[in-house]
Amino acid sequence: MILLPLETERLRIRPFEPERDAGPLHELWGDAEAMQFIPGGVKTSVDETRERLETLRARGRHGWGFWAIEERESGRPVGGVGLFPLNWEGPEIELAYHVVPSVWNLGYASEAATAALAAAWDTGLDHVVAVAIPGNVASRRVMEKLGMSFEGSTRYRDFDVVRYSIERPA
């Protein structure tokens, strides 16, 4: 079970608060360029983003889920990171992360994902997978930075994706 909040030097990972987080995270889920690599499509309003956050919050169970990333200094929500059953079905656990465009290239996705993996290893988990649309170079770079190994191409939620995995360090 992952116990929240998790904290890094610059970030706090916590459960989503849909009312508070919908506006800031609409920068991500309302942006066509950002959403080209994220299943679920562009949300046309802050209300749709809030509904997505409510769904994600409700899916979290048994210590797994997709959670808010916020800047520790400002408290501003800047994305999401999570560990959850692959395709919400399992049995493998998937690592996923998204950050709002205004903080791209600041290393937030890698920092949050590193914290999530450390928490996974602390629970005794021994293997984590991640998937990305092949053209999502930034996401693939994060996976490689985390030490994940490329396993190949596969299908996921009706999308062609690349799959990476990592084993718990010895």
Tell me the pLDDT tens digit for each residue of 14-35. 999 999 999 999 999 899 888 8
The pTM score is 0.93
Mean pLDDT, residues 53-64 taken together: 83
Would the pLDDT of 39 be above 80?
A: no
Is residue 162 in some structural domain?
A: yes
**Domain residue limits at 106:** 6-167
3-class SS string, 28-57: HHCCHHHHCCCCCCCCCCHHHHHHHHHHHH
Number of domains in the chain: 1
Higher local confidence (pLDDT), 101 or 90: 101
Is residue 1 in some structural domain?
A: no
What is the band of 77 on the pLDDT scale with cuts at 50, 70, 90? very high
What is the residue-averaged pLDDT of the chain?
93
- Collapsed DSSP state (helix, strand, coil) of residue 169: coil
Is residue 24 in some structural domain?
A: yes
Helix (H), strand (E) counts: the chain: 5, 8
Mean pLDDT, residues 79-108 taken together: 94
Confirm if 21 and 28 have CB atoms less than 8 A apart.
Answer: no
Alpha-carbon span 164 to 45, nearest angstrom: 33
CATH number at residue 162: 3.40.630.30
Alpha-carbon span 14 to 32, nearest angstrom: 26
Mean pLDDT, residues 143-164 taken together: 94
